[in-house]
Structure 1
Amino acid sequence: MRYLISLAFVFLLSGNAFSQTEKPNIIYILSDDQSWTDYGFMGHPHIETPNIDQLAADGLTFTRGYVTAPLCSPSLASIITGLYPYQHGITGNDPLFTSEKPRYQTDWQTARSRLYKDYLDEFQKHPTVPQLLQKLGYVSFQSGKWWGGHWSEGGFTDGMTHGDPGRGGRHGDEGLKIGREGMDPIFDFMDQAISDDDPFFIWYAPFLPHSPHTPPDSLLQKYLPKAPAEAVASYWAMCEWLDITVGQLLDKVEEVGLTENTLVVFVTDNGWIQDPDRPNRYAPGSKQDPQDMGIRTPIIYKWPAKISPRMDTKNLASSVDMAVTTLAAVGMDPRPEMQGINVMDKKALTKRKQIYSMDFSHDMVAVDQPEKTLESRMLISDQWKLIDPGPANPSNQDVLLYDIVKDPMESENLAEEKPGIVKKLLADLDEWWDGDTGSDQQ
């Protein structure tokens, strides 16, 4: 019999109450640099993602999901803490500094690591999902993209990333081999956890479809006739390569008989529009930008023992919900500072009216003053999306308002036509977080 918890808990799912007596295994699957449109089940006419499509069909799938930032490091930090970037302190990928050494080379990496420590120290004040799960006997494994130093610094009990700047440690190092060079490290961890009768948490954040776009040639040849440019074909092929690895992971879970009681959560860290003229480069309006092509993502929760499959095209979901929902699944209360909801609580889901995101500069200037690099704050409601420019966006201070239901590609700014709506949503943004002062006004 699997490891048991002593306290039963009750929560709502589709209006039905149930008791939880056995800890679920938990797997986070984190796509890296992929648009919300670039899946078969989201309607892409060419990209084939049959395994993720099946995951979406088998789970509670939110097509209106959002991440907290259009950049990987702050986005991933939010996923693992359940906090927004202004709370956990990681607002960008790197500290801002001047160096005579080439960016990303060893000397630059070493200098970066010294400056990044202040941000890492702030981040580590907040417990991560694997740290909290460890209190219940969980073992955990980090693989893929990881900005938090050595895997142990994120609260994992095992992992791949060493974080040593002298050996290229910045955003994943050895962990970035997962998926691209096979799945054995995860499978070996799973086998050991099963042998030890331990419930487990897996962080699978492969460097896919992230550049460099170097898909297997068979996949590239498949998409070349369909794409407008080779750079686009390479990106599309990378999306399918990700899907193949997702299938390998889920097949392993099925093979060892754990599908029924495993909570699988899928999300992407930020969006991507492939520049057709520049291989491995994104186009404006996606990564590092506040548009939906930078922050929107499908979010999937699959747990056959407890979650009834449903494609939710109406309710809003956020990546900050993942930590709260995971804790609820194992019978733990969320920490007071967490702003997400348990998406398995139907009342909380239907009560939600707004979610938020924020766009900061790539390079951070002060761990205690996130507003200095704030480029935009974003509020998404049932119908409206507001983009409010911040102090680090001096070239464009125009407030943007979109009817995100009728205009999902954000082609028509309605701010001048709807001043009353703009005023209300700006007030709601300031009540949530005043980005000019950095003060939390909750």
Structure 2
Amino acid sequence: MRKKYLITIASAVACLILDSVADDRPNIVYLMSDDHQATAMGCMGNSEIETPNLDKLASRGVLFERCYATTPLCMPSRATTMLGMYEYKTGCNFLTGKVSLSNWKNSSYPMLLKKAGYRTAFAGKWGFNLEGEVSAQTSAKDDFDVWGGLQGSQGNYLTEKNKAMKAYAKEYPHVTRALGAFGRDFIVDSAKQDQPFCLSISFKAPHAPYNVIDPEDQKKYAGVRFSEPAGFDQEGWDNLAIQPKLGRQYMQRDRWDKDHYQDHLRVYYQLISGVDSAVGMVVKALEEAGVADNTVIIYTADNGYFCGAHGLQGKALPYEQATHIPLIIYDPRTPKAARGRKTPAIAANIDFAPTMLDLAGVPVPAQMDGKSLVPSIQNPDHRVRTQLGLVQNWDVLNRDMPKALAVVSEDWKYIHWCYADENVPVCEQLFDLKRDPNEMNNVAQSPEKSAILKSMQKHYDAFHQQWVEGCVDGPHYKRYATIFDRNIPWQKKDYRVDIGRGDTSQLTEKEQKFHALILDMFGEQTIQTYTEQTGAAYPVEGKR
């Protein structure tokens, strides 16, 4: 009887200890913008943009100066963020596949945190599909305690057009600040609960279209003449390799040319200023609810944006402006010596899920590729890696011409463009990011850099081997074991090149929709010119 009594007491004490530990777990606020170039923040040295709330957050936390989107495109990046895995493991990109329900249920940070007792909420642009679902509105929303997902895959800047956000439309007609209000209300309600919470907000801004600006921001940057990026307009086009000229980023380059740049950057910055205000709303809510001292805030983006650099629009390509993303992490519990610091350590979106799980004391699944950034938050001099792989596995019609793999370190980036033919030479690029951060001077052919080139090629081969051994079992990923192998001659690669030449019978239903969309946007003559650029007999001017 005494033994049984002692066991009962011991069990009760254990429960009390566990409850105490659980109570000490931090709340987590994950804030992600869309197409936010890393340098478009005051704290990153940009004197032309106003981001006071982000700047204040950076002054209190750690600013990661070299964070990357491993696949710099909306859908695959969002899947990677949720799962902590490279695209070749998530199997998710436009035209290639969806996230498996098994991965979502068992390996995503929202599901793992919820199973660990966190109260969870998602609001904003969802942007990727789960296996078997019609849209995020029919599946993922049931996995969160509170849901504020925007309508469809992209959402709408007008709050009233997003069903889950309609309640905020009168006070906040633009969805960016409406998302800030959603976060505020979730924080206030969660502060009353007896459990930690994880709030994930995915802003639509500053993604196009650029014609719906919050009235609060419409007068900002009036009369400002913005500086132009390195490699702007014709200079950028002349300096590009051939392969990146065979994709949509070059096809639509006139959207950010010298005739449109000033107007586009103005509204782009206005949209970012709106996000900054929404971040301020969330931070204020944490303070007023009395939970700021135990809440970790992460601010980042799904990918960067060219904004005219290299003469390009869009993202996807493995150059800095597209892959380099903001990352600010503020943990109020860290030593004061670690706050307000900048670190050049290489971080990535594969690290966000492991970091949040580590913060919550939840075991990180072995299949995650990312590393917890907690050691770097506590000591900004700490490095979790020496190099990182980058993926460009997207084309508007799923052709191979503009696709590439790359590896990046603190000092160097190596890019291997997978496509070549009789008129398009094999292209590898090596950039000295310390001396040439805008990647204007390819030194791959320089004898003085041969040792560095061999070292980066070795890292590339190792990353490619990870793809070979770990990719999902699907045709869109297995075939790249060959396509991305730089040691296999191009003549032995079965490239996908002819999609879109007029005969669409070989396209999937989704690809046919993309084909029709391009025709509708650009006309028959434009798409004919665009697709003819991919033919072996069509020489395209560019640098190797």
Given that 1:285 and 1:294 are in contact with CA atoms closer than 8 Å, whether structure 2 keeps it comes out as no
**Which of 445, 451, 460 in structure 2 is aligned with 1:429?**
460
- Which residue in the other structure is 1:95 paired with? 95
Q: Give the 3 Å change call, closer, same or farther, for CA 178–234 of structure 1 in structure 2.
A: closer
Q: Tell me the equivalent position of 1:403.
A: 432
Tell me by how many angstroms 1:422 deviates: 2.1
Question: How many angstroms apart in 1 are the aligned matches of 2:395 and 2:149?
Answer: 22
Q: Which amino acid aligns with 2:79?
A: A
1:298 corresponds in structure 2 to 326
- Which runs of no fewer than 5 residues in structure 1 stay unpaired? 10-19, 97-115, 163-167, 277-281, 366-370
Structure 1 runs of 4+ aligned residues shifted over 4 Å read 118-123, 175-178, 362-365, 371-374, 391-396, 435-441
Deviations 1:15-62 (A, max 9, x none): xxxxx9611111111011111111111111210000000111111211
Residues 125 and 310 from structure 1, CA distance in 2 versus in 1: closer, same or farther, beyond 3 angstroms? same
Larger-Rg structure: 2
- Looking at structure 1, the residues matched to 36 and 457 of structure 2 have their Cα atoms a distance apart, in angstroms, of 29
Moved more, 170-179 or 246-255: 170-179
For residue 156 of structure 1, the aligned residue among 144, 148, 157 is 144
User: Structure 2: any 5+ residue segments left out of the alignment?
Assistant: 1-14, 130-134, 157-161, 166-173, 227-261, 472-480, 482-544
1:381 aligns with 2:409: yes
Cα-Cα RMSD: 3.3
**Mapped partners of 2:384, 2:177: distance in 1:** 41
TM norm structure 1: 0.79
Letter aligned with residue 67 of structure 2:
G
Q: Is the 8 A contact 1:5 1:23 kept in 2?
A: no
Quote the Cα distance in structure 1 between the aligned partners of 2:64 and 2:179.
29
Report which of the two has the higher share of helix.
Answer: 2
Q: Deviations along 1:139-197, whole A, 9 cap, x unmatched?
A: 111111112343652743321237xxxxx622456368742545333333333322332
AA partner of residue 404 (structure 2): S
If asked which structure has higher relative contact order (CA below 8 Å, sep 6+), I would say: 1
Q: Does 1:227 align with 2:225?
A: yes
Q: Aligned in 2, Cα 1:322/1:119: closer, same or farther, shift over 3 Å? A: closer
Structure 1 position 78, deviation (Å): 1.0
Q: Is 1:138 equivalent to 2:118 in the alignment?
A: yes
Cα distance in structure 2, aligned partners of 1:395 and 1:288: 21
CA distance in 2, matches of 1:241, 1:4: 44
User: Given the superposition, is the C-alpha separation of residues 374 and 141 from structure 1 closer, same or farther in structure 2, using an over 3 Å criterion?
Assistant: farther
Aligned length: 392
Query: The residue matched to 1:61 in structure 2 has which SS?
Result: strand
> Is 1:287 aligned with 2:315?
yes
1:127 aligns with 2:113: no
Contact 1:359 1:375 (8 Å CA) reproduced: yes
2:285 to 234, 239, 252: 252
- Residues 382-402 of structure 1: per-residue CA shift (max 9 Å, x gap): 211111113599957411111
**Cα pair 2:420 2:426 within 8 Å, conserved:** no
Contact 1:5/1:21 (<8 A) preserved: no
Cα deviation for residue 310 of structure 1 reads 3.9
Letter in 2 for 1:190: I
- Counterpart mapping for 1:129-278 below 5 A: 129-146=109-126, 147-148=128-129, 149-150=135-136, 152-153=139-140, 155-161=143-149, 169-172=152-155, 174=162, 178-181=175-178, 183-213=180-210, 214-217=212-215, 219-228=217-226, 229-275=262-308
- Report deviation, 1:209: 1.4
Distance 1:432 1:83 in 2: 13
Q: Distance in 1 between matches of 2:313 and 2:469?
A: 25
Q: What's the offset of the Cα at 1:353?
A: 1.0
**Matches of 2:347 and 2:33 in 1, distance apart?**
17
- Residue 351 of structure 1: CA displacement? 5.5
| Shift of residue 5, structure 1, vs aligned partner | 7.2
Q: 1:339 aligns with which of 369, 383, 390?
A: 369
Q: Is residue 35 of structure 2 the alignment partner of residue 6 of structure 1? A: no
For 1:169, the aligned partner's letter is: G
Q: Which has the higher strand share?
A: 1
